[in-house]
Amino acid sequence: MPHDSEKILPAKRTSDSPTRPSEVTELLVRWRDGDASALHRLMPLVYRELHHVARRQMNQEKGSTLQATALVHEAYLRLLRMDVSWKGRVHFFAVAAGAMRRILVDRARKRRAAKRGGEARPVDLTEVADQVAGRQLGADELLALDDALERLTELDARKAKVLELRLFGGLTIAETATALAIATATVERELRMARAWVARRLRGVEDSDRSNGLGTRGSRG
């Protein structure tokens, strides 16, 4: 996939006219097939939603000096370097949300290392996994949540992805189902189980992964 990391993010779209999902998908396919100009036509169309995702993630983190616009720009540069077989608009935002999460986690690690020589301190995250959007997270809290998600990914990648898309990406149940090609009922079930597992993990409770439905698919999704 062609890219030029020296180019800046294209100007955001000024028109209030809605963007057709098919238009975004068409440009993603052209970008995937080697049309570098397609990306620069694409970004103004998706800028507003990318900025919304960035604001959502920034609102969950305290202590960071990074602004939403800067987060969008950093994510854009990472997207340029990715070799992804784009499947459509929802898939694009899912990948972008994941890129933003990694940027924030990397910055949180650097911030913690600068303050305490890299040593973590215990954190009380009783409520974090149940309602992340309801409070801001410090560096230690964000890293603890990220560690829990990474462990969940090892045990049950789909449940971890459902939780990531909902917490960090702000995707709706229907959008998450589209991104993962599963039923909305499956998303709801996987989300409940993932939230419960992460909450237990953050509280330091170690229990049987299999007994909690991890690594299983239950009914067909």
Strand partners, 137: 61
Q: List pLDDT tens digits, range 39-71.
A: 888 888 888 888 888 877 776 655 555 677 888
* Full set of structural domains in the chain with CATH: 1-119 (no CATH), 123-221 (1.10.10)
* Cα–Cα separations (whole angstroms), residue 24 to 27, 91, 93, 97, 216: 5, 11, 11, 17, 34
Contacts made by residues 38-42, CB under 8 angstroms, sequence distance 24+: 39/3, 39/80, 40/7, 40/10
CA 146 distance to own-chain centroid: 11
The model's pTM: 0.67
- Token pair recorded at residue 3: 């890219």
* Number of CB atoms found within 10 A of residue 197's CB: 25
pLDDT digit string, tens, across residues 101-130 = 888 888 888 877 776 654 544 444 444 444
